[in-house]
């Protein structure tokens, strides 16, 4: 089941709704603090804990955590550079029975960061910045409550010293920063603490692992989906895409290429005849164009032919540099999926007049402007389809090698050929891509990753 991801305003609205329904702000704070304290106790395993408390409600959560630990017999110290400023935080401070230091160095082997919560929008400075710098230099187990204190929740931007945490506990709901670079790279393990608020009805979520299932009992190769992959100037990239696509569920993968491919697997059908005739095959369920396509006139003509078919299609690599408003006007954008990395996303945004800076906002705006499904890939992968945004747990950092994007495009297109649903295919592709990386040996090549897709399928059947 997918889990909602909220913006700052959506989280505030969810908390207001709970209060309006009769749950006090103090009760919500107790639920959050006590729930987080259980995770802190697991991590601390009897060791002493330092809690860093800020002036707002995140600091209030910290006082509740500290009191829960104190009641359980833990050695606890609280460091708070400023007194609480909100009513609920002042109540939490009043209920805490231990001492509070305004300025000190953390003394215990476990440190809990409750300086600022999900609403931070300005730079962290002064005593708070000094505490975070000290935390980063300290040899301790670091836990962030809700989001790390130097992180802007909606964008993942870093607004001050950002230590590397071992554990981050999201309170009530996931926030966008829990899925976005650069912040998420410093968050360690991610866990969510339920606090009894309603978080559904939004337009963003962590995608649930897919259930792919086996082909129907009466399936045959065309019913399972014929995927045509359009090659171009360079033969290697489309072959990588084909290797992945053959293992991701499509019943038939055809490579439309003018090159000889002596190393191609015997199972791959290579069409070297008339391109117009090959692409007109009525049995084709989906198309992939871009890997190895080139960027000359012939490449543009091939892309135009793909778009003219009106079939579900994945556009990757060179196709993303060729695509423009004139070409898109001749296509059914609702059936198109683009898979840009950072540079390709910038090219698409320039082509379609998108000027926002944040990767998440760029992907969403590009989808809004064009109607295409956008899979903005990278260390933080974001899928925007049908007005919904899907986030994903982090994949292996070993994916940072040439050719893995071609593999992802092949998986995406293969899943699209199976059922034709762009959002579903994108989510399935990312999960399979990440699982294939997990199953492949470290320092894998793109070819080894493509071959690992077959065993990755086992996880989701």
Q: How confident is the model at residue 266 (pLDDT cuts 50, 70, 90)?
A: confident
3-state secondary structure at position 20:
helix
229-245: per-residue pLDDT in tens? 999 989 899 999 999 99
% of the chain surpassing 90 pLDDT:
93
Tell me the average pLDDT across 261-284. 90
Q: Going by DSSP bridges, is the β-strand pair 336-338/189-193 parallel, antiparallel, or unpaired?
A: unpaired
Higher pLDDT, 269 or 366: 366
166 marked as binding residue: no
Average pLDDT over residues 420-445: 97
379 is in an annotated binding site: yes
Q: Grade residue 446 by pLDDT with cuts at 50, 70 and 90.
A: very high
**Mean pLDDT across the chain, nearest whole number?**
96
Token reading at 351: 């082509």
Query: In this predicted structure, what is the pLDDT of residue 247?
Result: 98
Strand ranges (DSSP E) for 231-309?
252-256, 269-271, 284-289
Query: CA 11 to CA 361: how far, in whole Å?
Result: 19
The model's pTM: 0.95
- 149 a known binding residue? yes
Estimate the crossing angle of helix 25-44 against helix 57-71, to 10 degrees.
50
The answer to the question of whether 410 is labelled as a binding residue is no
Query: Between helices 87-95 and 25-44, what is the axis angle to 10°?
Result: 50
Tell me the per-residue pLDDT of 197-222, one tens digit each, with 9 for 90 and over.
999 888 999 999 999 999 999 999 99
Whether residue 301 is predicted with pLDDT greater than 90 in this model: the reply is: yes
Residue with tokens 């540099």: 321
Asked if 363 and 374 count as a contact pair (C-beta separation under 8 A), the reply is yes
Tell whether 341 is in a known binding site.
Answer: yes
380 is in an annotated binding site: yes
pLDDT tier at 258, thresholds 50, 70, 90: confident
Categorize the per-residue pLDDT at 273 as very low, low, confident or very high, splitting at 50, 70 and 90.
Answer: confident
Backbone angles phi, psi at 324, to 5 degrees: -145, 180
> Is residue 123 part of an annotated ligand binding site?
yes
Q: Is 378 annotated as a binding residue?
A: yes
91 annotated binding-site participant: no
- pLDDT tens for 66-92 read 999 999 999 999 999 999 999 999 999
Q: What is the CATH number of domain 3-206?
A: 3.40.50.10260
Average pLDDT over residues 50-56: 97
Q: Sheet holding 100-101: strands in order across?
A: 100-101, 76-79, 49-53, 110-114, 141-145, 167-171, 189-193
Q: By C-alpha distance, which of 313, 279, 324 is closest to 409?
A: 313
Q: 189: how many CB neighbours lie within 10 A of its CB? A: 12
120 is in an annotated binding site: yes
Asked whether the predicted pLDDT for residue 50 surpasses 90, the reply is: yes
Q: Residue 284 to residues 22, 76, 205, 257: CA-CA distances in angstroms?
A: 57, 65, 32, 16
Distance CA 74, CA 461 (A): 45
| Residue 232 is labelled as binding a ligand | no
Bridge partners, residue 228, by sequence: 254, 287
> What are the strands of the beta sheet with 252-256, ordered from one edge?
174-175, 3-6, 204-206, 388-391, 382-385, 373-376, 336-338, 313-315, 284-289, 226-230, 252-256, 269-271
Q: What is the pLDDT of residues 345-387, one digit of tens each?
A: 999 999 999 999 899 999 999 999 999 999 999 999 999 999 9
What token pair was written down for 337?
A: 């999926």
Mean pLDDT, range 388-398, rounded to an integer = 96
**Is residue 121 a known part of a binding site?**
yes
Residue 59 marked ligand-binding: yes
The residue-averaged pLDDT of 409-425 equals: 98
Has 211 been labeled as part of a binding site? no
What's the confidence (pLDDT) of residue 215? Answer: 93
Q: Is pLDDT above 90 for 441?
A: no
Dist. CA 228–CA 47, nearest whole Å: 59
Judge whether 57 is annotated as a binding position: yes
321 is in an annotated binding site: no
Q: Find out whether 201 is annotated in a ligand binding site.
A: no
Helix or strand (DSSP H, E) at 274: none
- Percentage, residues of the chain above pLDDT 70: 100
- Is 441 annotated to bind ligand? no
Is 455 annotated in a binding site? The answer is no
Mean pLDDT of the region 11-16: 96
Q: Over 90: is that where the pLDDT of 103 sits? A: no
Are residues 52 and 106 in contact, defined by beta-carbon separation less than 8 angstroms? yes
Would you list the domain boundaries of the chain?
Answer: 3-206, 226-460
Q: Is the pLDDT of residue 104 over 90?
A: no
Give the architecture (CATH level 2) of 226-460. 3-Layer(aba) Sandwich (3.40)
Question: Residue 79's closest CA among 45, 35, 114, 109?
Answer: 114
Q: Is 397 annotated as a binding residue?
A: no
96 in Cβ contact with 78 (< 8 Å): yes
386 among the known binding-site residues?
no
Backbone angles phi, psi at 320, to 5 degrees: -75, -25
pLDDT at 264 over 90: no
């Amino acid at each position: 089941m997918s889990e909602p991801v909220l913006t700052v305003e959506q989280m505030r609205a969810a908390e207001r709704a709970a209060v309006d329904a009769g749950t006090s702000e103090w009760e919500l704070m107790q639920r959050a603090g006590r729930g987080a304290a259980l995770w802190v106790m697991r991590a601390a395993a009897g060791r002493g804990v330092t809690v860093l408390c800020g002036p707002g409600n995140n600091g209030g959560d910290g006082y509740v955590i500290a009191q829960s630990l104190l009641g359980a017999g833990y050695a606890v110290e609280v460091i708070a550079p400023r007194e609480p400023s909100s009513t609920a935080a002042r109540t939490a401070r009043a209920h805490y029975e231990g001492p509070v230091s305004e300025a000190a160095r953390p003394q215990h082997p476990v440190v809990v960061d409750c300086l600022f919560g999900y609403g931070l929008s300005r730079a962290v400075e002064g005593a708070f910045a000094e505490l975070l710098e000290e935390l980063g230099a300290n040899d301790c187990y670091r836990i962030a409550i809700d989001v790390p204190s130097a992180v802007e929740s909606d964008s993942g931007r870093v607004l001050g010293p950002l230590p590397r945490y071992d554990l981050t506990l999201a309170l009530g709901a996931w926030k966008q920063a829990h899925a976005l670079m650069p912040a998420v790279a410093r968050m360690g393990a991610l866990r969510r603490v339920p606090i009894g608020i309603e978080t559904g009805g939004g337009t963003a979520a962590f995608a649930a692992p897919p259930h792919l299932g086996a082909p129907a009992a009466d399936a045959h190769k065309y019913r399972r989906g014929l995927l045509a992959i359009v090659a171009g100037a360079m033969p290697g990239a489309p072959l990588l895409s084909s290797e992945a696509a053959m293992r991701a569920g499509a019943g038939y993968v055809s490579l439309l290429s003018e090159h000889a491919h002596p190393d191609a697997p015997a199972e791959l059908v290579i069409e070297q005849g008339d391109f117009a005739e090959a692409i007109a095959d009525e049995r084709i369920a989906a198309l992939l164009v871009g890997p190895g396509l080139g960027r000359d006139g012939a490449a543009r003509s091939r892309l135009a032919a793909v778009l003219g078919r009106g079939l579900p299609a994945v556009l990757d690599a060179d196709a993303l540099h060729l695509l423009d408003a004139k070409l898109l006007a001749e296509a059914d954008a609702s059936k198109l999926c683009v898979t840009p990395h950072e540079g390709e996303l910038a090219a698409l945004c320039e082509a379609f007049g998108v000027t926002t800076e944040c990767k998440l906002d760029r992907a969403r705006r590009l989808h809004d402007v064009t109607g295409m499904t956008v899979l903005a890939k990278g260390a933080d992968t974001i899928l925007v389809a049908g007005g919904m945004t899907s986030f994903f747990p982090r994949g292996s950092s070993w994916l940072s090698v040439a050719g893995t994007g071609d593999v992802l495009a092949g998986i995406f297109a293969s899943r699209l050929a199976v059922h034709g649903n762009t959002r579903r295919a994108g989510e399935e592709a990312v999960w399979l891509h990440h699982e294939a990386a997990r199953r492949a040996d470290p320092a894998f090549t793109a070819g080894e990753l493509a071959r690992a897709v077959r065993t990755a399928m086992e996880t989701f059947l």
